[in-house]
Structure 1
Amino acid sequence: MNATGPLPHVEFAGPGSAPPTAPLTWGQRAIWEAIVRTAPDDHYFNFGRVLKVPGSRTVAEVCTALAALVERHGALRTTMSDAFRARPPEPYGNAEPYGNAEPYGNAEPYGRAEPYQRLAEKGRLPVVVTTEDPDRVLGELAARPFDYFGEWPVRVALVLDGDRVAHVVLVFCHLAADGLGAEVALRDLRILLLRGPDVRRPGAAQPLDLARWQAGTEGRRAAETAAAHWEREYRRIPPAMFSAPSGSPAGPPVWRALLRSPALELAVRSIAAAHGASTSTVLLTAVTELVGRFTGHETCAVLPISANRFRRDTTDIVATMSQEGLFTLDRREAPFADLLRAAGPAALRAYRSAYHDPADRNRITASVSAERGEPIHPYCCFNDMRFADPGPARCDPAEITAALARTSVTWPMSQDKLNCRFCVHLTTEGVSLTADTRYLSRPDMERYLLELESLLVEAAVR
Structure 2
Amino acid sequence: MDIRFSGSRSGTAPLTWGQRAIWDAIRKTAPDDHYFNFGRVLAVPRRARPLTVARAAEVLGVLVERHESLRTRLSAGLSTGLETSVGTGPGAAPSPRVPAQTGGQDGGAEPAQVLGTAGSIPLTVSRDDPERLMEELSATPFDYAGEWPLRVGLVVAEDETVTHIVLVFCHLAADGLGAEVAITDLRLLLLRGAVPGPTPPSPLDLARWQRSEPGLRVARLAAEHWEREYRRIPPTMFDRRVAAPEGPPIWRAQLVSRALDLAVQRIAAVYGTSTSTVLLAASSVLVCAVTGHEVCAMLPIVGNRFRQDAAQAVTTLSQEGLFVLDVGGRSFAEVLRAAKPAALRAYRSAYHDPGDRDRLTERVSRERGTRVHPYCCFNDMRFIDRVDASHDERTVRLAMEETTLTWPLSQDQLNCRFCLHVTGEGGGLGVSLTADTRYLPKEAMERYLRDLESLLVEAAFHETLEPVG
Quick check: 1:38 aligned with 2:29? yes
Alignment partner, residue 9 of structure 1: 2
Alignment partner, residue 97 of structure 1: none
SS in 1 for 2:324: strand
SS in 2 for 1:438: coil
Q: Pick from 155, 164, 181 the counterpart of residue 184 of structure 1.
A: 181
Instruction: After TM superposition, list the pairs within 5 Å mapping 1:229-268 onto structure 2.
Output: 229-268=225-264
Partner Cα separation in structure 1 for residue 166 and residue 249 of structure 2: 31
TM-score (norm 1): 0.92
Moved more, 397-406 or 408-417: 397-406
**What are the Cα deviations for residues 252-297 of structure 1, in whole angstroms up to 9, with x where unaligned?**
0000000111111111111111111110000000000100000010
Alignment partner, residue 166 of structure 2: 169
Alignment partner, residue 90 of structure 2: none
CA shift for structure 1 position 392? 3.6
Judge conservation of contact 2:37–2:169 (CA < 8 Å) in 1. yes
Alignment partner, residue 453 of structure 2: 453
- Amino acid paired to 1:34: A
SS in 1 for 2:362: helix
Partner Cα separation in structure 2 for residue 448 and residue 197 of structure 1: 48
Instruction: After TM superposition, list the pairs within 5 Å mapping 1:22-421 onto structure 2.
Output: 22-54=13-45, 55-83=49-77, 110-111=107-108, 113-161=109-157, 162-197=159-194, 201-421=197-417
- Amino acid paired to 2:31: P
CA shift for structure 1 position 88? 8.0
SS in 1 for 2:305: coil
Partner Cα separation in structure 1 for residue 13 and residue 414 of structure 2: 28
Partner Cα separation in structure 1 for residue 181 and residue 341 of structure 2: 30
Judge conservation of contact 1:279–1:392 (CA < 8 Å) in 2. no
- Runs of 5+ in structure 1 lacking a partner? 1-7, 94-109
- Amino acid paired to 2:402: R
Partner Cα separation in structure 2 for residue 290 and residue 426 of structure 1: 16
- Runs of 5+ in structure 2 lacking a partner? 79-97, 463-469
Moved more, 394-403 or 318-327: 394-403
Judge conservation of contact 2:266–2:387 (CA < 8 Å) in 1. no
CA shift for structure 1 position 248? 4.0
Alignment partner, residue 21 of structure 1: 12
CA shift for structure 1 position 50? 0.6
**What are the Cα deviations for residues 362-414 of structure 1, in whole angstroms up to 9, with x where unaligned?**
00110000000110000000000001112243311111112111112110110
Quick check: 1:438 aligned with 2:438? yes
**What are the Cα deviations for residues 404-458 of structure 1, in whole angstroms up to 9, with x where unaligned?**
1111211011000000000000001311100000100000000000011111111
CA shift for structure 1 position 82? 4.6
CA shift for structure 1 position 90? 5.6
- Amino acid paired to 1:58: T
- Amino acid paired to 2:397: T
| Structure 1 residues 253 and 204: CA distance shift in structure 2, 3 A | same
Moved more, 227-236 or 266-275: 266-275
Partner Cα separation in structure 1 for residue 334 and residue 116 of structure 2: 53
Judge conservation of contact 2:30–2:104 (CA < 8 Å) in 1. no
| Structure 1 residues 251 and 420: CA distance shift in structure 2, 3 A | same
Partner Cα separation in structure 1 for residue 244 and residue 397 of structure 2: 33
SS in 2 for 1:205: coil
Partner Cα separation in structure 1 for residue 258 and residue 110 of structure 2: 47
Judge conservation of contact 1:47–1:173 (CA < 8 Å) in 2. yes
TM-score (norm 2): 0.90
CA shift for structure 1 position 344? 0.4
Partner Cα separation in structure 2 for residue 132 and residue 331 of structure 1: 49
Moved more, 251-260 or 239-248: 239-248
Judge conservation of contact 1:267–1:460 (CA < 8 Å) in 2. yes
- Amino acid paired to 1:394: S
Partner Cα separation in structure 1 for residue 13 and residue 208 of structure 2: 7
Judge conservation of contact 2:236–2:372 (CA < 8 Å) in 1. yes
**What are the Cα deviations for residues 164-207 of structure 1, in whole angstroms up to 9, with x where unaligned?**
11111100000000000001000101111111146x64222111
Partner Cα separation in structure 2 for residue 337 and residue 316 of structure 1: 37
**What are the Cα deviations for residues 31-55 of structure 1, in whole angstroms up to 9, with x where unaligned?**
0000000000000000001111122
Partner Cα separation in structure 2 for residue 394 and residue 142 of structure 1: 40
SS in 2 for 1:434: strand
| Structure 1 residues 38 and 78: CA distance shift in structure 2, 3 A | same
SS in 1 for 2:314: coil
**How well do the aligned residues superpose, as a CA RMSD in angstroms?**
1.5
